[in-house]
A and B are shown apart, each in its own frame.
Chain A
Amino acid sequence: MKVRLSKDSMNVIITGVGGQGNVLASRVLAGMLVNAGYYVTIGETFGMSQRGGSVMSHVRISQKAIRSPQMPLGSADIIIALEPVEALRVLIKYGNPDVAVLSNSRVVYPIGVITGELNYPSLTEIQNVLQKTTAKNWLLDATEDAVKLGNPVLSNIIMIGALSATDLLPIDRRSFEKEIAKNMTADKLRINMLAFDAGAKLI
């Protein structure tokens, strides 16, 4: 596990589609980092925006101070996407040549694609964009592992497990367990630890 941030502040965006567990993922990640002694600022929206729309949490980690809950354009260090086209949506606004992207490869089609009015890019096209515009990227089928564990919503925790294995942030299995054990029954804790481990194995 990394012990320090590679720069100050580190800017992480967690994105996905409403209902995929975006908010929980950002809270868990932020909780782990606050426990490790950092200033963490999360910016997110919920309510109407969660109904089928794109959602995004900005998580900013600093040794020095609270930051703005909205980060500047082009300043993401890490993008974690629970849905692949959402990775691109965030990337085109907040990306830069040094960004690292971890994205779930399981697609959730927007309404406009379902009706036939819009096109959804192929995974190859998405992969090509990631290759050209990121310093590091991973496209993982987190949903498949989550379904194996009995609940597709666990893909958010699988992505956090994957993030820990990349060594991009000072987080690990122990810090995850400590954070989620606060508010979880033993049963739920067990399944979340399994999801975390499954994610770490994907890297």
Chain B
Amino acid sequence: MLKLLSPANREVLFMGNEAIARGALEAGVNVASGYPGTPSSEIIESLATVGKERNLYVEWSTNEKVALEVAAAASFAGLRSLCAMKQNGVNVASDFLLHLASSGTRGGIVLVTCEDPGALSSVNEGDSRYFARMLEIPLLEPANFQEAKDLTRWAFELSEEIRNIVVLRSVTRMSHASGNVICGKLPVKFRKAHFVYDGSIMDPLRGHVISTPVVAKHSLQQGKLKRATVLFENSPFNDYSGPKKPELLLITSSACFLYSREAIDMLNLQKRTGILKMDCTWPLPPKLLKKHLNSTDKIMIVEEVLPFLEENLKTLAAGMGKEIGIKTFYGKMDGTLPSVGELNPDVVAAALAKIMKVKHKSLPAAYTKELQKAAALIPARELTFCPGCPHRASFWNIHNAIALDGREGFVCGDIGCYAMGALFPATGYHTTPTLHSMGSGTGLASGFAKLAAFGFDKPILTVCGDSTFYHAVIPALINAQHNRADITFIVLDNSGTAMTGFQPHPGLTVSAMGELVPSVDIAGICKAIGANVAISDPFDLDGTCKILNSFVADKGSLNVLIMRQICALSPEKKGKKIFDVKVNEALCLGESCGCNRLCTRIFRCPALIWDRSKKKAVVDEVICAGCGVCYSICPQKAIIRTEAEKK
């Protein structure tokens, strides 16, 4: 039996994202949608595995905005729905979210945003909690794995109680961490969809679901938020532990609660400090906070990433000044805690130790000295493309085409593993000076290409992955064609949403729930836009280079090259070598070759290493994925490839 469907009262180890999925199942969720993004992807993935058993419709949508629209339709029809995304997905969905928050909802609907303090797998560390305040909707933040489940379940009830969408926010250290969870009951009855729109315009359950008349609906929306505040005042999810009159009160949310508790333990401050764990972080319940602010004069706010809780708390405290007196606040705004990056128990403990004037026990000095000596021996391990990764070959081709053209062309980068094309030292050939949000490579390229009139005459290239193409690139590509932006657009098509774990996308014939669905052809779309379209295998360096050279040289048209090769980590390819590869030592001239170690210094495949005693290249067969591309780059033809036996 699947762990996600464990019977009530069973204690299991759930990843935070699985706990959120289980909470949604216990709430009787009917529809779940999302777009993959670390650290959120496992919520939709795990719900998809139980879709049939739980009478649930699950989809990977083309982007987060569409995903939220799909989930909202279910809510309008009285069903319960969940929509999951990473932090920057909320930006994408935000236009619809604003209008949804104004129109109100019917069946319980929860937007789950999983955020990435410290940007462990992101190119930003955005804090989307501010959307809850700006758009006037309630915000919940679970502080452990059990709560990730229980709070999700309650979020659906809250949404139905106030008839508006509720945001549940998680972070990497919650979503991708795991812990014990005791399961609750799964419902036995499933809802039926009914969409009713025959009532008055202000009737939340029978009227048209629209945001007009705007001012009247806005007032209705603010009433819902007030109702949420009342519920938050007595919610068991906000919880205090510690002495009655703590010298210092820590107010904290999410994973920072676990860091704070650990920090107090590290310094043995259990009798002097207390923790108010706030799961309901917008709007803050004023009566509850007044009670706790009255218990002490010193307060430290521990949160990630921006001082959201701190700002809101200070605003409340200012309004209560007469009743609670003047307090000292420690947090991000006064520099007690760092204003960027993720926190951890040591960072919180250091701040606590300073405020409480205590010392943390440290390791023996002689031992620390030994560790410092060892540190000098450790080489950095930078991120790079995997052995057999098509992107290493793709960027090799792109770099060579730009170099041959000689006009200092460059690539506008985009979001996916291929973002590493912009990172040093992932490869020894750098092509990509810009990297922003999904689809913006093509928009930027479209803009750069129009700068020729200002004396900027360089070939402009841009890349995107297959999933990114559907997500946000199409409008920018149409823009390039319509406005005659002369760019070479390259799709790095590796047959799936690879970085987040091979979720299907519209280019494939399978849905999130494993059903057969029509695929939408990238080449067909590009042709319909009016582009010249070619397809190549990036492992075929000669063939790909010929096309790229002609595209980069061409003026006056939009050129699209689809480089198609499956990701080396994909389940269908992993562990299957196309070639057995080795270096013929007799042919490798080593340092006297004249190539200046092109293979190991520039190409940088983790499997192609340099034997320092023999001064020759050598293939590590344990790591080699057998793509055979290095065979094509060796000027001496010293790298031998033979077709691998099919396993």
Contacts and interface: CB of A to CB of B under 8 A. Distances in A.
Contact of B176 (A46, A66, A113): A46
Interface stretch (B61-69, B220-228, B383-391, B576-584): B383-391
A129 B374 contact: yes
Given A53-B382, A91-B371, A68 B259 contact: yes
Contacts of A129: 370, 373-374, 377
Contacts of B122: 48
A44 B380 contact: no
B374 A110 contact: no
A95 interface: yes
B133 to A, nearest CB: 27
Contacts of B372: 92
Interface string A49-80: 10111100000000000111111111000000
B258 A45 contact: no
Contacts of A119: 379
A73 B349 CA distance: 11
Given A88-B374, A114-B608, A42 B383 contact: no
Contacts of A71: 345
B340 interface: no
B532 interface: no
B176 A52 contact: no
A143 B374 contact: no
Interface string B22-64: 0000000000000000110000000000000000000000000
Contacts of A19: 386, 569
A69 B606 contact: no
Nearest to A70: B344
Among A19, A49, A86, A96, the one with the most B-chain Cβ atoms within 10 Å of its Cβ is A19
B341 to A, nearest CB: 13
Interface stretch (B76-84, B597-605, B636-644): B597-605
A178 interface: no
A199 B12 CA distance: 27
Given A66-B258, A74-B363, A92 B374 contact: yes
A116 B258 contact: no
Interface stretch (B201-209, B231-239, B420-428): B420-428
A112 to B, nearest CB: 6
Contacts of A69: 173-174, 177, 179, 255, 258
Interface in B379-403: 379-386
B557 interface: no
Nearest to B123: A48
Contacts of B157: none
Interface string A29-56: 0110010000111111111110111100
Contact of B178 (A30, A88, A95, A109): A30
A43 B610 contact: no
B453 interface: no
Contacts of A89: 378, 381
Interface in A114-143: 114-116, 118-121, 125-126, 129, 132-133, 143
B622 interface: yes
26 contacts: A30-B178, A34-B11, A39-B180, A45-B172, A47-B39, A47-B121, A48-B38, A49-B383, A52-B382, A52-B386, A67-B258, A70-B344, A70-B345, A72-B346, A86-B381, A88-B374, A89-B378, A92-B378, A111-B381, A111-B382, A111-B604, A112-B380, A114-B609, A115-B604, A121-B378, A129-B370
Given A34-B12, A111-B606, A125-B377, 5 more contacts: A40-B13, A66-B146, A68-B259, A88-B378, A114-B604
